[in-house]
Structure 1
Amino acid sequence: MLYGTPAARRRDAQRNRAAILEAASEVLAEDGAVALMPEIARRAGIGQATLYRHFADRHALTTAVLGYQLDLLETRVAAHAGHPAGFRDLLRETLHSQIELRGLVKLVRRFDNALQERYRQRVIAAFAGPMRAARDHGYVRADLVPEDLSLLFTMVQGVAEATGDVEAARAAADRSVDLVLEGVFQPDPGLVSDGP
């Protein structure tokens, strides 16, 4: 058969799609980078025709990349299940990923409000269980609720986008992550002094 078996074509298509999503994630992580389809195709090691067979336009690609990143996030969160003490590291890692993918976040803000809200709810749902477990074990503030996480993500994103200088943005965002986490997490009881 000239083009191989259907199963082989499906495997090739799955490989190509995965390569496209990885390449697009890289491009979107670069400050000032525009999700140019030719650059994504080049990094994925495929032709532009193959890219457009998978994703008709930038909106379709952005939507797929966001879904891919949310899948990765849900996998990371699931890996922390049953480890409430690790919630701080999980949240820090997620906030840093958000900083790295600020180009993607900017593109997502062009989506209609209903679609943005659907993605926001997916993130909050992913974190709700681990956050409750951390709260029940005394690792986070007793009044912390899942919706508060949306505020944290918004604050850190605002800081990350406040400057065009990549390193300055990352440094400011890192500082904001530290301040945010200090406001969310309970101090280590062994480090709290009762006075002089």
Structure 2
Amino acid sequence: MAILEAASEVLTRSEGFALMPEIARRAGVGQATLYRHFADRHALLAGVIGHQLERLETHAAHTDFRRLLRETLHSLITLRGLVSLARRLDPAMQERFLQRVVAAFAVPLRRARESGHVRADLVPEDLVLLFAMVQAVAETTRDVTAARAAADRSVDLVLEGVFRPAA
């Protein structure tokens, strides 16, 4: 949907909701149409997050765990404005979204465990800790270039802590 794509772009680079006219313009619709599809700003945010999760779920179905984890951790940096906004949603909705993320990783993680590529005790819920660590790096570094460099380093450290060395 054009509205969700436009909103994803705008909300990814902004931590505010004052950009509704810009979202409508980018989507090629009027503000009234935007509000007909999404009753309020929180509904739009929930729609955008749901849209991003659908992308993750589709991608996870055919991607190996290491690549999926790296790409997802990097996306936390790219989408940090959206992640920050997501914290404004009610806790129950946040938990539902988080469970979808964890579920998307379940099969790729199981395959990685079964093939001996990751620790046997690594469970999908452990990934929430990894996401929080990388997100903290993104949020505490103001300069985007420095944030990306710090996040890349933390991603590498996390991945080396999760994956066994190649034999």
TM-score relative to the length of structure 2: 0.95
Q: Aligned ranges for residues 68-83 of structure 1 at < 5 Å?
A: 68-80=51-63
Displacement, 1:165? 1.3
Is the counterpart of residue 53 in structure 1 residue 36 in structure 2? yes
Is the counterpart of residue 160 in structure 1 residue 142 in structure 2? no
Q: Aligned ranges for residues 101-180 of structure 1 at < 5 Å?
A: 101-180=79-158
| Alpha-carbon separation, structure 2, partners of 1:142 and 1:114 | 30
The one-character-per-residue Cα deviations of 1:40-61 (angstroms, maximum 9, x if unpaired) are 1111121111111111221010
Q: Secondary structure at the match of 1:179?
A: helix
Judge conservation of contact 1:27–1:34 (CA < 8 Å) in 2.
no
| Alpha-carbon separation, structure 1, partners of 2:48 and 2:105 | 20
State the AA in 2 paired with 1:134.
Answer: A
Structure with more contact order per residue of length (Cα contacts < 8 Å, sep ≥ 6): 2
RMSD value over aligned CA atoms?
A: 1.2
Matching residue of 2:165: 187
State the AA in 2 paired with 1:77.
Answer: A
Contiguous gaps of at least 5 residues in structure 1: 1-17, 81-85, 190-196
Displacement, 1:34? 2.7
Displacement, 1:79? 1.9
Matching residue of 1:27: 10
Larger radius of gyration: 1
Contiguous gaps of at least 5 residues in structure 2: none
| Alpha-carbon separation, structure 2, partners of 1:112 and 1:25 | 20
Q: Give the ranges of 4+ consecutive aligned residues of structure 1 lying more than 3 Å apart after TM superposition.
A: none
The one-character-per-residue Cα deviations of 1:64-116 (angstroms, maximum 9, x if unpaired) are 00000000000000122xxxxx3111111111112111111111111222221
Is the counterpart of residue 62 in structure 1 residue 48 in structure 2? no
| Alpha-carbon separation, structure 2, partners of 1:177 and 1:73 | 18
Q: Aligned ranges for residues 9-28 of structure 1 at < 5 Å?
A: 18-28=1-11
